[in-house]
Amino acid sequence: MAQSPKAILLIGDGLGDRPIASLGGKTPLEAANKPHMDRLAKEGECGLMDPIGPGVRAGSDTSHLAILGYDPYKYYTGRGPFEAAGIGMDVQGGDIAFRCNFSTLDDNMTVLDRRAGRIDKGTDQLAAAVDGMQIGDITALVKESVAHRAALVFRGPGLGADITDTDPHVEGAKVHKCEAVNPSDAASAKTADAVNEFVRRSYEILKDHPVNKERIANGLKPANVLLPRGAGIGPKMDSFETVHKLKAACVAETGLIAGVAKYVGMEIVHVPEATGGLDSDLVAMAKAILKSLEDHDFVLCNVKGGDVAGHDDKPEPKIQLIEKMDTMLAYLIENIPPDTHIVLTADHSTPCAVKDHSGDPVPIVFWGPGVRTDKCEKFDERSAASGGVCRIRGIDVMRILTNLMAVQDKFGA
Ligand code: ZN
Ligand code: ZN
C-alpha cells in the first residue's frame, strides 16, 4: 500500500530578524551554524513569506491562522477564544470567551488586590466551584490558568462581545459595571448583564470557599472574585481536516498557539520537556512530532524560544536557539517516514533591535518530493529572497503544501 502523504510544518517563532552590527551586519539566521536548515534550503524550494501581508506586523495568533489557511481578517476576533482553547476549554463558534483574574474584593465591591496576592495554588478548586453556573439561558464555563489567571466562556443563544471590562485595572477602585458599548446592541447588552451577575455570584460563592478560609487563616488575601475582561466571540471556523483533508496534530510550547490549533480541531500533544524558553528540549519535541506522525497526516510545531530572545534583544541566545532547532531538524530528517514533506519557516520577524514583532517577511522552505529545487543554498532572510517560491503570503502556505502532497482538489475542469 502506498504511504499516505505526510507533512511537518515547523515554525520558529519570531525567527526572522534584521542585520545586527554586533554580528558583523548579519542576522541571527545568517550568523548561526545550521547545516540541516541549509540542507533543506539546498534541496528544497525557498522564498520569503509575509505572514499577513507585506509590512504587516503579525501577532503569533493571526500569523498561525493565516499559515494554516484561515484569513485572520475574517476569523480573528481577539485572543480570548484561542487562549481559552489553549488551556483545554472547549470553545465553540458563538461562545463569548474572556480572560479573567482571580482578585480580592471587599463587601463594597472595591478591588483590594487585582491578583489576589498572586495566588498560585487552589485556583483549580475555586474555578470548579463556579464552573457550570447557569445565568438564565447562559452556561458559564470556568477554568484556571497559570497563577491568578483563569478563562471564562459564556455559552448560550444570542450573545455579543462588544462590552466593557469589569476590571478597573487599579486597586482601591470599585469593580466596573459591564455595559454594552452600543446600548441598542441587544446581544451585547444581554452578555453584559450576565457578566455583572457572574461577578456578583462568583463573589458570593468564593468568599466562603474553604480555599479562601484557609488563605485568610494564613494571612493571605482571598481570591474571592473573578473579574472578566477582553471579551471575544468564538469565530465559526471549519476544522483543519475539513478544509485541507489532513488529520492534524500540534506540538506547541505556548497556550496561544495550542489554542489556535485546538480551535480548528487539531489534536494537541503535550511535551513536558518543552519549556517555551531557550532551555527547551527540542529533541523531545521532535520525538513527539514523529510519534504524532504515526497516526496523523500533518503535524504543526511551534518553537517559541527565538521570539523570546528577539523581545529581549539577545542576538547570541537567538543564534543558540536556531542551532538547537537545527539539531531538532536533523533528528526529524533522520527519522521521518519516506516522502514526508517539511516546511520550515517563522510566524513573523522579532528583530532584536525592535524588541517586538516587525512587518519584515520571513524565510520559508518547502522540502520533499516534487519540489522544484532552486539555487538558494542557505536558510536565511537574504538567501531565501532568491528562491523559486519568491514572495508569498501566509495564506498561500497550505495551498502550496497540499499541492505538493497531492491532496488538493482541482479548481475547475
Ligand atoms: Zn510568534
Ligand atoms: Zn512575540
What residues flank ion ligand 2 with Cβ within 5 A?
307
CA 194 to ligand 1 center in whole angstroms: 34
Nearest ligand for residue 260 CA: 1
- Residue 4's pLDDT is 85
Express each pLDDT in 152-167 by its tens digit: 999 999 999 999 999 8
Whole-angstrom distance, CA of residue 14 vs CA of residue 325: 13
pTM over 0.85: yes
The total of other beta-carbon atoms located within 10 Å of residue 403's CB is 12
How would you classify the pairing of strands 138-144 and 225-233? unpaired
Cell of 191: 452578555
Q: Give the relative orientation of helices 315-335 and 282-294 as an angle to the nearest 10 degrees.
A: 30
d(CA 323, CA 167): 43
Q: Which residues of the chain fall short of a pLDDT of 50? A: 1
Sequence-separated contacts (24+) of 276-283 with Cβ below 8 Å: 276/304, 276/305, 276/308, 277/304, 277/305, 277/308, 278/305, 278/308, 278/309, 278/317, 278/320, 278/321, 278/324, 280/253, 280/304, 280/305, 280/324, 282/324, 282/325, 282/327, 282/328, 283/327, 283/328, 283/331
Q: Which ligand is nearest to the CA of 308?
A: 2
Q: End-to-end alpha-carbon separation of the chain, Å?
A: 29
Within 13 A of 286's CA, how many CA atoms are on the CB side?
17
Which ligand has an atom closest to residue 14 CA? 1
Cα separation, 276 vs 303, whole angstroms: 7
pLDDT (tens digit, 9 = 90+) per residue, 49-98? 999 999 999 999 999 999 999 999 999 998 899 999 999 999 999 999 99
* 382 CA to centre of ligand 2 in angstroms: 22
Calculate how far, in angstroms, residue 256's C-alpha sits from the geometric centre of ligand 2. Answer: 11
Q: What is the pLDDT of residue 1?
A: 47
Cα(403)–Cα(355) distance, rounded to whole angstroms?
36
* CA 195 – CA 389 distance, rounded (Å): 49
C-alpha to C-alpha distance for 231 and 167, rounded to whole angstroms: 12
Task: Please state, in angstroms and rounded to a whole number, the distance separating the CA atoms of residues 336 and 251.
Answer: 16
CA of 319 to the centre of ligand 1 (A): 17
